[in-house]
Structure 1
Amino acid sequence: MLDHDGDTHLYLQIAEIVRRRVGELEPGHPVPSEADLQREFGVARTTARRAIHVLREEGLIYTVQGEGTFVGAPNEAPREQRKTPLYRQIAADIEQRIRSGELRPRRPIPGETALLQQYDVARETVRRAMALLREAGWIYTVPQRGSYVSPEDSWPQD
C-alpha cells in the first residue's frame, strides 16, 4: 500500500516494493513493465519509470529494448530469448488482420494509444512495428490524420 501523504516519494515506495519482490526471483526472470506498475499502483507512467530507473541504477534489474525488464545483470543469467522480436510479432498480427479483411484498405488502423493498450508494450515497440508495416507497404500515414491500410494493389507480393 502506498502512502500518498508521507514524506517518501511514490516512485521510491514502488521501488522498495518491487525490490522485495525481485529478491525472491531468479536472475533472468521478467519484472513487471512500467505499464504493469502504472496499473497496479494507480500512478503516472513517469512515476513507474522512475521506480524502474532506481532499481536499474542499483544493478538489481536490467532492460532489453523490445523484450522487457529482467532480474539481475545482463550477463548474470541467461534469459529465454524471444524467437521473434515483439515489434515484428505486432506487425505480423496487424498484417494478418489486413489480409483477413478485418482491417480494410484505405481505412484507419488502430491508433498508437490503442495499440499500446492492446499489446501492453512500450511506445517505441509500437512505432517500430508501424515503421515495419509502412516500409513493407501494408500501411501509409497521413500527417495529422493517422495511419491507414494501403490499397490492396499496393500490398507486398508473397
Structure 2
Amino acid sequence: MLDYEGDTHIYLQIADILRRRVSGLASGQPVPSEADIQQEFGVARTTARRAIHVLREEGLIYTVQGEGAFVGPASGAPRQKRKVPLYQQIATDLIDQIKAGTFQPRRPIPGETALVAQHGVARETVRRAMALLREQGWIYTVAQRGSYVSPKESWPQD
C-alpha cells in the first residue's frame, strides 16, 4: 500500500489515502485518530500527525481539542457531539475496573502509553483522565513508579 522506496514522503501517501476515504463521508463525521493511523500504517505518531495536518490545511477536515478530527471545514461545520468527553469515558472505564476488582488497591494501573494505545487517544487525554481519578481519590501516583489504586477507604462515596 505505501511505497517506502518511492520519492513521495510517507505522510503524503497516507494523506492521499485518507483524502480518498473522507471524500465519501458526510460533513461532521469523525476521521481516524492519530493513534488509529499510526497502528494501521505502522508509522510514528509524527508521521500520522503530519498526514492529518495536510488534510486540515486543505480544509477537508478540522480538529476539536479533546474530541478528535472531523470531516469538513471548521467554520460552522456540524459534528456528532460526544455525550461524554473522552477523558471522562476513560476515567469511568478505569473506575468500573477498579470496582470490579480488575485493579486491586495499592497495585498499579496501566501506564500512559498502554492507555493511549488501548483507547486510541492522545497522551493529553489520558493525562486528563488520570488527573480526574487522582482528584476524586481513586488513584495516587508515586514519582518514577507510576499510578496505583488507592486503598478502598480513600475511594469516593457513591
Q: How far has the Cα of 1:75 moved from its partner?
A: 3.3
How far apart, in 1, do the equivalents of 2:55 and 2:76 lie?
A: 16
Q: How does 1:80-91 map to 2 (within 5 A)?
A: 80-91=80-91
Report Cα offsets for 1:64-120 as digits up to 9, x if no partner: 122211111223432121111011011011111112222111111111111112212
User: What residue in structure 2 maps to residue 6 of structure 1?
Assistant: 6
Q: Mind listing any 5+ residue stretches in structure 1 that lack a counterpart?
A: none
Q: Mind listing any 5+ residue stretches in structure 2 that lack a counterpart?
A: none
Q: Give the partner amino acid of 1:86.
A: L
Counterpart check, 1:29 vs 2:33:
no
Q: Give the partner amino acid of 1:7.
A: D
Greater Cα offset, 15-24 or 131-140: 15-24
User: What residue in structure 2 maps to residue 63 of structure 1?
Assistant: 63
Q: TM-score, normalised by structure 2?
A: 0.94
User: What residue in structure 2 maps to residue 128 of structure 1?
Assistant: 128
Report Cα offsets for 1:121-142 as digits up to 9, x if no partner: 1111111100000011110000
Counterpart check, 1:46 vs 2:46:
yes
- What SS does the corresponding residue of 2:89 show, helix, strand or coil? helix
Q: How far has the Cα of 1:48 moved from its partner?
A: 0.8
Contact 2:29 2:80 survives alignment (8 Å): no
Q: Give the partner amino acid of 2:141.
A: T
Q: How far has the Cα of 1:43 moved from its partner?
A: 1.4
Counterpart check, 1:103 vs 2:78:
no
How far apart, in 2, do the equivalents of 1:111 and 1:57 lie?
A: 33
User: What residue in structure 2 maps to residue 142 of structure 1?
Assistant: 142
Contact 1:27 1:76 survives alignment (8 Å): no
Q: TM-score, normalised by structure 1?
A: 0.94
Greater Cα offset, 148-157 or 127-136: 148-157
How far apart, in 2, do the equivalents of 1:144 and 1:34 lie?
A: 27
User: What residue in structure 2 maps to residue 75 of structure 1?
Assistant: 75
4+ residue runs of structure 1 moved beyond 4 angstroms?
A: none
Q: Give the partner amino acid of 2:127.
A: R
How far apart, in 2, do the equivalents of 1:40 and 1:118 lie?
A: 14
**What is the number of residues matched between the two proteins?**
158
Q: Give the partner amino acid of 2:63.
A: T
Contact 2:91 2:133 survives alignment (8 Å): yes
How far apart, in 2, do the equivalents of 1:4 and 1:12 lie?
A: 12
Question: In percent, how many aligned pairs have the same letter?
Answer: 75
How far apart, in 1, do the equivalents of 2:155 and 2:40 lie?
A: 41
